[in-house]
Amino acid sequence: MLETASQGLLAAKCIGTEWLVSASYEQSLNRLKEKFDIVDASDDVAMIAKTVAGQLQQQRGVDFVLIQLYAEDRHILYDKDKPIVVHSFLFSGDQCHHAAHSIAGTIQRKQKQAALMSLDTLRRYLRRDSRSL
């Protein structure tokens, strides 16, 4: 699990679960790109998420990778009058499930909603996947 907007709250909501292998928080897309050696200068969140997920799946040998990103300047996260768009990506093998949500309000609201929206992406996938069994 990797998160940006929820700043660790997403991982905190999953403490004690057996399926959570690791979690990390990155403050911005630029720091995330540096950490994972992504040299493309664009802020294409789908490309960044796919690259990061591939590296995490390979490094950690996990089946699922949940990634939450937002592309706006990090200062907008603190501006209650400006919304951010949170992207939640769930990668499972070659499959990618994506949801995007616009969130406005205080930083606390943005954090909470970002965490809940990302968990909802995971829930929807697991629910749909369990129905196909």
Question: What is the CATH number for 52?
Answer: 3.90.950.20
pLDDT of residue 129 exceeding 80: no
* DSSP three-state, residue 20: coil
- Asked whether 44 and 33 are in contact (CB, 8 A), the reply is no
Q: How many CB atoms lie within 10 A of CB 11?
A: 19
- 8 A C-beta contact, residue 14 and residue 1: yes
pLDDT tens, position by position, 52-74: 999 999 999 898 999 999 988 88
DSSP state of 16: T
pLDDT tens digits, 110-125: 999 999 999 999 999 8
pLDDT digits (tens, 9 = 90+) for 92-109: 988 999 999 999 999 999
Q: Computed from CA positions of residues 50, 37, 57, 6, in that sequence, does the dihedral angle turn out positive or negative? A: negative
Q: How far apart are CA 113 and CA 119, in angstroms?
A: 10
Provide the H-helix boundaries in the chain.
9-12, 29-35, 45-60, 74-77, 107-131
Please give the distance of CA 94 from its chain centroid, rounded to a whole number: 17
Terminal Cα-to-Cα distance of the chain (whole angstroms): 25
The structural domain count of the chain equals 1
- 133: pLDDT strictly greater than 60: no
Q: How far apart are CA 57 and CA 64, in angstroms?
A: 7
Structure-block tokens of residue 117: 């929206």
| pLDDT of 25 strictly over 80 | yes
- What residue numbers bound the domain in which 31 lies? 2-131
